[in-house]
Amino acid sequence: MVAITVLLAVVLILSGALYGYGRHKVRMAEKRYPPRGEFVEADGVKLHFIRKGEGRPVVFLHGGVLTAEDYRETIDIAARSGYCGIAFDRPGYGYSERPDGERVTPGKQAMLLRRALIGLGIEKPILVAHSWSGVLALTYALEYPDDLAGIVTLGAGFYPQGYPAEKGDPISTIAMAPVLGAFLLRTLLPVVGPLLTNAVLRETFKPEPVPESYRQATLAYWLRPSQFRVNREDVLAFVPAAKAAMGRYKRIRTPLVIVVGGEDPFPTKEHSYRLHREIPDSDLIVLPHAAHMIPQNHPGDVMNAVRALSGGSAGELSAKEDAEPIRHLP
């Protein structure tokens, strides 16, 4: 009996220490990376966004790893090129709130984004979506077909086939467990989080290197239990959302440019070619030497695609980029 009491006391003390350590790491992360943008309320949810430049609006949506900061360089290029660049922290990421008590599907996120844009007085933007946000952007086009001037997807996923969580994801399932998940995220995440984060970043960026500044920022944000949990919720939400939307992709009439890295380790090339076949009026750009993290390592190519969509030249912005010219697949 005494041994059990001592063991429970040790567990409680250790858990308390880990919880305190985790809270300290969150405070340090938020001090190091404070919000540097503006806020807008959409359906009672406060969303954080970064805005720079004046001109035609281009709205950037990050994938599942970080925040609006994914587009720091891209927004600078957009502003210099006569666009108004706007990058949102998606709901629950960075400093954006996430609705409580409901499933925040890509459809729900599209609705919140639309209401935020209406609140900001932004009409007919070009929507740029990386990775996970590909299905969000296409859902937006399906639900609000008259609201967009165009879509650019970057290494995006559109179909359940080949998605990393196509057949479930144990880490996500544990993280989402009501009691166990909350306990583990608040105690063990500060310890195992850096190992997991570094492994995810290596896999996500390969074969390109992970920029050290990006690694540090991801470590900071992912050690926050709230953002880690939101990421895992999105991972589980992707497959049912893609299954629900994929049968309607052929109806999309919004101008669409599909950009994908030739060395992307994920099945985004297959997804991109398939989508291009299903939407024949779309255009496809393959970046031969790019991998998955196009916004971070190829911001010039991102804006090349935007300019091409809006009637400019695809090669004006960055002579060093090596994108294949826009082409239609047979």
How many angstroms separate the CA atoms of 8 and 12, rounded? 6
For the chain, the maximum distance between any two Cα atoms, rounded to a whole number of angstroms, is 77
Is there a domain that residue 330 lies in? Answer: no
Is there a domain that residue 1 lies in? Answer: no
Q: Give me the pLDDT at residue 320, please.
A: 35
Q: Give me the pLDDT at residue 11, please.
A: 47
How many angstroms separate the CA atoms of 88 and 94, rounded? 9
Looking at mean pLDDT, say which of 51-65, 160-174, 304-318 comes out highest: 51-65
Task: Name the CA dihedral angle for 253, 315, 268, 296, rounded to a multiple of 10 degrees.
Answer: -120
Is there a domain that residue 5 lies in? Answer: no
User: What mean pLDDT is predicted for residues 292-321?
Assistant: 75
Q: Give me the pLDDT at residue 314, please.
A: 40
* Least confident range of 90-94, 147-151, 153-157, 313-317: 313-317
Residue 292 has pLDDT above 70, yes or no: yes
Q: Give me the pLDDT at residue 319, please.
A: 32
Is there a domain that residue 3 lies in? Answer: no
Q: Give me the pLDDT at residue 304, please.
A: 95
Domain hosting 219: range is: 10-309
Pairing of the two strands 38-42 and 45-52: antiparallel
CATH of the domain at 225: 3.40.50.1820
Residue 238 has pLDDT above 50, yes or no: yes
- 99-152 pLDDT, tens digit per residue, is 988 889 999 999 999 999 999 999 999 999 999 999 999 999 999 999 999 999
Mean pLDDT of the chain: 85
Residue 315 has pLDDT above 50, yes or no: no
Is there a domain that residue 90 lies in? Answer: yes
> What confidence category does residue 33 fall into, taking pLDDT thresholds of 50, 70 and 90?
confident
Is there a domain that residue 320 lies in? Answer: no
Task: Report residue 150 as tokens.
Answer: 């165009």
- List all residues 6 or more positions away from 208 whose beta carbon is below 8 Å from its beta carbon: 263, 290, 291, 293, 297
Residue 321 has pLDDT above 70, yes or no: no
Residue 328, φ and ψ in degrees, nearest 5: -100, 140
Q: Give me the pLDDT at residue 20, please.
A: 58
The residue whose two tokens read 């031969």 is 288
- 182-226 pLDDT, tens digit per residue, is 777 677 777 777 888 899 899 999 999 999 999 999 888 888 888
Residue 88: beta bridge partners? Answer: 49, 61
Is there a domain that residue 51 lies in? Answer: yes
> What confidence category does residue 266 fall into, taking pLDDT thresholds of 50, 70 and 90?
very high
Q: Give me the pLDDT at residue 263, please.
A: 96
Higher pLDDT, 299 or 184: 299
Is there a domain that residue 314 lies in? Answer: no
Structural domain tally of the chain? 1
